[in-house]
């Protein structure tokens, strides 16, 4: 166990013991404060890559949180405008957000003036803590209303706890900082010389996936509705909704450089990932129509060239393809009947 985890748990145990023996309310408060005070180790620097004249990305090489990567599993994108820097997804912890700030300052001397969160999964917003710590509690953090509701509700502390567990306490010290400003589909926000347009076309990866278009650069961040080479979590999502979202988004924006939450930016991202998802969905739907079982549906999915071509290279494929075939099968049952 890393020293930070041992130290933190020892101190918390001592505080709880003191509170139990003395019944001091102050001791219980101190125990909570110690939890917040103890911080995990810093995250190694990952230099930002320039994607367009205004847009930069700190690319995460890993797709899932581990003690070794300390939770660095999702891309962080930032836009350098004449009014300041705008961050599109802040990372999975205080420490990751602090690393992002270090990298931003290597690119621009301007302050961060806004943060956007694409959805409520914690690897995309727990870094908010670092930005309000550095730039003040009044820093505007934008998201769709449902995302704000979820983070303020059970999802916020759930994701904080999960990230600590998955990284063996490396993200300790991260505070839940929910978005403070609601945005809506079609809304545009101006930051100096740069226009950002909000897009939301219903349930895809989650019920509230926000895509942000950097209008002048023809670059759009898509959060987790599409990934370059990782199988996406569909527990809160919809296959049919994802296909509809892709179609509406492309009709609204035209040709773009699509920037995912996981993986590299690509101009054909929605097409290539959509083909993979269709390989799952089409077979699940056909299996339901033919009265076949989930197991038979999975065999059909694995035999489909659109899926099979990804089996060897896609992160998390073996551990997740059965689950996400099952989710497609359940959705197909609702669609078919």
Report the alpha-carbon distance of residue 126 to residue 137 in Å, rounded. 15
Report the alpha-carbon distance of residue 238 to residue 246 in Å, rounded. 12
Joined together, the tokens standing for residue 124 give 């995309």
**Please, which pLDDT band fits residue 18 given cuts at 50, 70 and 90?**
very low
Do residues 151 and 121 lie in contact, with contact meaning Cβ atoms separated by under 8 Å? no
Tell if the pTM clears 0.95, that is, is over it: no
**Cβ neighbour number for residue 108 with a 10 Å cutoff:** 15
> Residue 19 phi/psi, 5° resolution?
-65, -40
When pLDDT is averaged across residues 80-104 and rounded to a whole number, the result is: 98
Terminal Cα-to-Cα distance of the chain (whole angstroms): 51
Q: Which of 124, 103, 106 is nearest to 115 (CA)?
A: 124
The answer, yes or no, to whether residue 1 has pLDDT greater than 50, is no
When pLDDT is averaged across residues 295-318 and rounded to a whole number, the result is: 95
Report the alpha-carbon distance of residue 68 to residue 71 in Å, rounded. 8
Tens-place pLDDT, residues 252-285: 999 999 999 999 999 999 999 999 999 999 999 9
Beta bridge partners of 260: 223
**Please, which pLDDT band fits residue 25 given cuts at 50, 70 and 90?**
low
Report the alpha-carbon distance of residue 197 to residue 212 in Å, rounded. 6
Q: Which of 10, 14, 12 is nearest to 22 (CA)?
A: 14
The answer, yes or no, to whether residue 165 has pLDDT greater than 50, is yes
10-19, 255-264, 277-286, 306-315: which range is least confident on average? 10-19
Provide the pLDDT for residue 231: 86
Joined together, the tokens standing for residue 317 give 């494929």
Tens-place pLDDT, residues 219-260: 999 999 999 999 888 999 999 999 999 999 999 999 999 999
Relative orientation angle of helices 317-336 and 269-289, to the nearest 10 degrees: 60
**Please, which pLDDT band fits residue 63 given cuts at 50, 70 and 90?**
confident
When pLDDT is averaged across residues 186-211 and rounded to a whole number, the result is: 98
């Amino acid at each position: 166990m890393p020293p930070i985890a041992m130290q933190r748990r020892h101190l918390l145990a001592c505080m709880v013991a003191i509170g139990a023996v003395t019944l001091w309310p102050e001791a219980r408060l101190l125990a909570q404060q110690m939890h917040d005070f103890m911080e995990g180790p810093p995250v190694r620097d990952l230099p930002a890559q320039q994607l367009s004249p205004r847009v930069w990305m700190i690319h995460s090489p890993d797709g899932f949180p581990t003690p070794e990567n300390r939770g660095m599993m999702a891309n962080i994108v930032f836009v350098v405008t004449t009014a300041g820097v705008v961050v599109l997804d802040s990372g999975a912890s205080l420490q990751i957000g602090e690393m992002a700030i270090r990298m931003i300052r290597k690119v621009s001397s301007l302050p961060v003036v806004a943060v956007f969160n694409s959805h409520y999964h914690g690897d995309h917003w727990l870094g908010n803590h670092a930005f309000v710590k550095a730039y003040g509690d009044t820093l505007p953090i934008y998201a769709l209303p449902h995302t704000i509701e979820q983070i303020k509700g059970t999802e916020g502390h759930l994701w904080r706890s999960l990230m600590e567990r998955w990284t063996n306490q490396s993200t300790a010290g991260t505070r839940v900082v929910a978005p403070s400003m609601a945005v809506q589909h079609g809304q545009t926000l101006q930051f100096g010389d740069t226009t950002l347009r909000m897009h939301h076309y219903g349930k895809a990866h989650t019920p509230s996936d926000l895509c942000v278009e950097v209008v002048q650069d023809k670059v759009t961040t898509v959060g987790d509705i599409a990934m370059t080479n990782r199988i996406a979590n569909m527990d809160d999502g919809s296959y049919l909704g994802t296909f509809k979202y892709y179609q509406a988004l492309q009709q609204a924006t035209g040709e773009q450089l699509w920037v995912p939450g996981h993986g590299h930016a690509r101009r054909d991202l929605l097409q290539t990932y959509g083909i993979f998802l269709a390989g799952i969905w089409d077979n699940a739907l056909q299996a339901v129509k033919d009265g076949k079982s989930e197991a038979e549906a999975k065999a059909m999915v694995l035999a489909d060239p659109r899926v099979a071509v990804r089996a060897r290279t896609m992160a998390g494929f073996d551990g997740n393809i059965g689950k996400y075939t099952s989710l497609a099968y359940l959705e197909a049952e609702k669609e078919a009947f």
